[in-house]
Amino acid sequence: MTLLGKFEKLREDRTALLATGADPFGMPIDELYSPTEARIAGRRVLLAGTNNYLGLTFAPECLEAAHAAIDHDGTGTTGSRMANGSFAGHRALEREIAEFYECRSAIVFTTGYQANLGMISGLTRPGDVLMIDADSHASIYDGCKLSGAEVLRFRHNDAADLRKRLTRLGERAASTLVIVEGIYSMLGDRAPLAEIVAATRECGSCLLVDEAHSLGVLGEYGRGLVEEADVLSQVDFILGTFSKSLGSVGGYCASNRPELDLIRYASRPYVFTASPSPSVIASTRAALRLLRNGKDLRVRLWEHARKMYGGLKRLGYRLGPEPSPVVAAILDSREQALTLWRGLFERGVYVNLVFPPAAPGDKSLVRCSVSAAHSAAQIETLIGAFAELRDPVLAAGRDVNSACAPSLRSS
Ligand code: PMP
């Protein structure tokens, strides 16, 4: 096959998708009205797939901090911290993240994706072992590739399987990094973290927890699953992103391990990219303060999460195993998922469409995420749109794949 010949299949798939009248993976956002409303492709819509869990993207404190930072420090850093130095904001944010987790230190990366690349490839090398949950995010898989370490997977959220595999490694368990997520991004289920910590410690391995979707969402102070499961001090590396509950862009890792400071010198995704812009750092610092004191936001978020999960479950949609701000309807065919996604958009609701292999188990998902910024009425609107579409979606499932309809109904 020629270099560019391999794009033929992608071109065919995209042409077929566009022929259905929708471009779910290239929606033009015309104007944003608030964290929960926008005009998209000419239509006013309710946003319900943003990961903006606390709704802080328009918080006055964050906007003000970002404006002030632009005026003071300019629009960008124009280089890596290794070459160009660290602004006061970078250093302050790292201190504040370390304090937030009551950890020795923290490192800020330019994106959450790079935080995983940087930490995984910084910590491990050929000869080491990476033991990852099978349903890990793409950034974890990509970090594994970059590291060159041997990659082993354990069954999703199965601490007994993890323990078995670590035990089998014998002495190599001591050069193994175990990686799990707090809340999993696609189905909203959480890791059995206490059991995972126990297995990892007993076998002498290190543990990294990616709290991308649980920061701000779980725990009294929003520190994530490590706080909720009361294992914060027993996790070696706590990683997360600024792009969800903190409403900006960037990533971090916090740790009590003194080696964390040395990762800066061993991590190509830290060294060879420009550091986050001053305005990004400033709004993130303001958002972190709101997040930490955001108990009321978390109460509202969870009210919406339970309502949405219960509502869709009662309608007969097949969902992930537990209520969470991530609520995804699991469909058995792309066509069924597309019918549901398009129907929602026509009713003024914009959510995420996920095709295999991005979703676990070769499924297609219509994935929603609720926000503390939603009103109770908006959550009702969302559930109402799913209710109107249940029968047409079941019909599309029957047309395309007779196995779909029973699985939707039986949940
Ligand atoms: N880890 C997980 C579990 C994620 O879901 C994501 C993004 N969805 C990332 C890391 C990457 O974060 P970012 O998009 O902020 O780069």
Contact between 243 and 250 under an 8 Å Cβ cutoff? The reply is yes
* Minimal-distance CA residue to ligand 1 atom 14: 112
In a domain, 408, yes or no: no
Q: Tokens 């890791």, residue?
A: 191
Best residue among 139, 245, 253, 367 to mutate for probing ligand 1, ranked by most atoms within 8 Å of CB? 139
CATH value at residue 327: 3.90.1150.10
Tell me the CA–centroid distance for residue 25 and ligand 1, in Å. 17
Q: 312 with 219, same domain?
A: no
Tell me the CA–centroid distance for residue 113 and ligand 1, in Å. 5
- Distance CA(19)–CA(342), nearest Å, equals 13
Q: 338 with 203, same domain?
A: no
Cβ neighbours for 283, distance < 8 A, ≥ 6 positions apart: 62, 63, 65, 66, 69, 247, 248
Could you say which of 269, 292, 315 is where a domain stops?
292
Query: Sign of dihedral through CA atoms 200, 176, 80, 213?
Result: negative
Q: 320 with 357, same domain?
A: yes
Kindly give the number of the ligand 1 atom that is closest to the alpha carbon of 184.
Answer: 3
- Distance CA(378)–CA(304), nearest Å, equals 10
Kindly give the number of the ligand 1 atom that is closest to the alpha carbon of 250.
Answer: 15
Tell me the CA–centroid distance for residue 148 and ligand 1, in Å. 21
Tell me the CA–centroid distance for residue 241 and ligand 1, in Å. 6
- Distance CA(275)–CA(281), nearest Å, equals 10
Q: 323 with 381, same domain?
A: yes
Q: 81 with 111, same domain?
A: yes
Phi, psi (deg, nearest 5) at residue 315? -70, -15
Low-confidence ranges of the chain (pLDDT < 70): 396-411
In a domain, 409, yes or no: no
In a domain, 236, yes or no: yes
In a domain, 145, yes or no: yes
Could you say which of 273, 292, 311 is where a domain stops?
292
Number of domains in the chain: 2
Q: 131 with 202, same domain?
A: yes
Kindly give the number of the ligand 1 atom that is closest to the alpha carbon of 181.
Answer: 3
Q: 176 with 216, same domain?
A: yes
In a domain, 361, yes or no: yes
49, β-bridge pairs:
369
Domain with 307 in it: 11-47+295-397
SS (H, E, C) the chain: CCCCCCHHHHHHHHHHHHHCCCCCCCCCEEEEEECCEEEECCEEEEECECCCCCCHHHCHHHHHHHHHHHHHHCCCCCCCHHHHCCCHHHHHHHHHHHHHCCCCEEEEECCHHHHHHHHHHHHCCECEEEEEECCCCHHHHHHHHHHCCEEEEECCCCHHHHHHHHHHHHHHHHHEEEEEECECCCCCCECCHHHHHHHHHHHCCEEEEECCCCCCCCCCCCCCHHHHCCCHHHCCEEEEECCCCCCCCCEEEEECCCCHHHHHHHCHHHHCCCCCCHHHHHHHHHHHHHHHCCHHHHHHHHHHHHHHHHHHHHHCCCCCCCCCCEEEEEECCHHHHHHHHHHHHHCCEECEEECCCCCHHHCEEEEEECCCCCCHHHHHHHHHHHHHHHHHHHHHHHHHCCCHHHHHHCC
Contact between 273 and 115 under an 8 Å Cβ cutoff? The reply is no
Tell me the CA–centroid distance for residue 181 and ligand 1, in Å. 10
152, β-bridge pairs:
131
Kindly give the number of the ligand 1 atom that is closest to the alpha carbon of 51.
Answer: 8
What one-letter code names the amino acid at 95? R
In a domain, 404, yes or no: no
Q: Which residues of 321-338 are buried (b: 16+ CB within 10 A; e: fewer)?
A: eebbbbbbbbbbbbbbbb
* Minimal-distance CA residue to ligand 1 atom 1: 212
Tell me the CA–centroid distance for residue 249 and ligand 1, in Å. 10
Tell me the CA–centroid distance for residue 396 and ligand 1, in Å. 32
* Minimal-distance CA residue to ligand 1 atom 13: 112
Q: 27 with 132, same domain?
A: no
Q: 344 with 363, same domain?
A: yes
**Nearest one of 163, 151, 226, 237 to 200, comparing CA atoms:** 163
pLDDT (tens digit per residue) in 373-385: 999 999 999 999 9
Q: Which residues line ligand 1 (CB under 6 A)?
A: 111-113, 116, 137, 139, 181, 185, 210, 212-213, 241, 243, 251
Phi, psi (deg, nearest 5) at residue 368? -110, 150
Q: 206 with 276, same domain?
A: yes
CATH value at residue 117: 3.40.640.10
Q: Tokens in use for 297?
A: 């936001």
In a domain, 248, yes or no: yes
Best residue among 110, 239, 242, 243 to mutate for probing ligand 1, ranked by most atoms within 8 Å of CB? 243
Tell me the CA–centroid distance for residue 10 and ligand 1, in Å. 24
Tell me the CA–centroid distance for residue 171 and ligand 1, in Å. 32
Could you say which of 267, 292, 317 is where a domain stops?
292
Kindly give the number of the ligand 1 atom that is closest to the alpha carbon of 111.
Answer: 16
327, β-bridge pairs:
368
Best residue among 111, 113, 179 to mutate for probing ligand 1, ranked by most atoms within 8 Å of CB? 113
Kindly give the number of the ligand 1 atom that is closest to the alpha carbon of 114.
Answer: 16
Q: 186 with 198, same domain?
A: yes
Q: 36 with 182, same domain?
A: no
Query: Sign of dihedral through CA atoms 373, 301, 56, 347?
Result: negative
Tell me the CA–centroid distance for residue 70 and ligand 1, in Å. 26
